[in-house]
Structure 1
């Protein structure tokens, strides 16, 4: 991955919008097992923001327990054509600046950030701290639906590195698990058929990327965090989560730290549905591995 800027602060975003700069705002509110984010969006969103449905626009809907879910996991990536159609529906033109946000400190917005960056768009940011930071900055909110004109963006997915299940099984590098630590250890598993983690993976909950106010830690702190897990610039690093959603949050944090990381889109939802794949429990024996509890809405 090259190193464009990952974040924009609420104050900076507000300043640019007040100056009249064209910025496409994407509201990506979603939580695992929670109510649809669209109702919350209608009650209040950043002025001009378009709602993005993670389940149908940032993933291909698959019936639970289906063969499609077993092959691709709970949130398989859409085709290039489907994703381009969605991005144009959001009003994105070639060359636009895009800012994605949510109400969970980037947990779901990072999926949009990663997919758009993977599709070749460079100026894509996460609103640092999400909706809470916008409110703290005194930013206004609008109600109701925003329906932009059709955009003309051309997407070319494949710009960012990914791995598949076979790569994860024999990953010669640092494989990070972005889920909450109790799911990694196999103590709980709310959605997938087996509890635990991919053997050899190290726990790196997305909560560890954040300061107390929900904004990302600074680059030096993130570098120290990931170095303690064995992930440093120049090393091979890959990330997975439950279904490829919140793993993008770790990929974004690693990018802030100057570390390129691949994403495993199928993640544990795909891995755990394949009976030929082994599953480990407990903590891996790596000094400094993270064991703090993660955010409950991880994928």
Structure 2
């Protein structure tokens, strides 16, 4: 299994034995929610000792025109500047966590791995696992000594909007949103309701247990196989804006697949009126060609 997850006990040991001149561990607090995107108040109220707060909306994404989606990937230069502010240096081990079953921490994992950081871990079970294990929190802001990390782009597999369309037709593209959004019953955020024609649905919330820990790789593998994933065959993931799709990317990787991320996701697709949409519980139900956008 890839070296992606870390337990609270393992993280505590890394922190205890971390020396500044020996590839130290850098802990990043990536708390974010769609309805409460600024996690700073929660960070100040209590975080893992030494953890630096990361602003997902502004440091792990860029914002431009709606047709780019709600959370386009950051440029290498912007990410490098942010990572240096967090204190990340070349060769550091980076551990990311949140308080939302790793849904936002996985975005940080994907972005940093794609940028070339070799050792990035997700605290399995999120902040709850840390406190449940009996480890203490600290309060207030954390300002790191600037790091010297050099970052790039393109170390992980990603899909453009055209490549996502092709994969939905010729391979397996998984929509990891809640079933009601996939079907098009509701759409609380984006211009059009439904899914990419040909995409199958498996909500990424099903990839963790009640405590927010990722399911056993064998269990994940069987579940993804049920929606068509096969060893050696292309499989892609998308969500609303590319955040929780990163979580599914992690789950697929743990299960032994080699996934691809469509970071633009539904927020980009639905902002292109020429792109067809499908509604209903099956991949091509209710398919219709592009139409004018509905204002929201």
TM value normalised by structure 2: 0.91
Confirm or deny that 1:125 pairs with 2:125: no
* SS of aligned partner of 1:100: strand
Q: After TM superposition, list the pairs within 5 Å mapping 1:1-299 onto structure 2.
A: 4-20=2-18, 22-62=24-64, 68-70=65-67, 72-171=68-167, 172-284=170-282
Contact 1:41 1:51 in 2 (8 A): yes
CA offset at residue 180 of structure 1? 1.1
Equivalent residue pairs, number: 278
* SS of aligned partner of 2:28: strand
* SS of aligned partner of 2:121: strand
Output one character per residue of 1:200-230: Cα deviation in whole Å (capped at 9) or x when no partner: 1111111110012210001111111111111
Contact 1:251 1:262 in 2 (8 A): yes
Output one character per residue of 1:53-76: Cα deviation in whole Å (capped at 9) or x when no partner: 0010001134xxxxx122x10111
Taking the aligned partners of 1:175 and 1:83, their CA distance within structure 2 comes to: 28
What is the aligned-residue RMSD (CA, Å)? 1.4
Moved more, 81-90 or 169-178: 169-178
Task: Call closer, same or farther: CA 1:20–1:94 in 2, change over 3 Å.
Answer: closer
Gaps of 5+ in 2: 285-296
Contact 2:199 2:283 in 1 (8 A): no
Output one character per residue of 1:123-177: Cα deviation in whole Å (capped at 9) or x when no partner: 1011001011111111110101110111011112101111111112221211011
* SS of aligned partner of 2:174: strand
TM value normalised by structure 1: 0.90
Moved more, 199-208 or 28-37: 28-37
Q: Runs of 4 or more off by more than 3 Å in structure 1? A: none
User: Which one has more relative contact order, counting CA pairs under 8 Å at least 6 apart?
Assistant: 1
Gaps of 5+ in 1: 63-67, 287-299
* SS of aligned partner of 1:197: coil
Taking the aligned partners of 1:207 and 1:198, their CA distance within structure 2 comes to: 20
CA offset at residue 19 of structure 1? 3.3
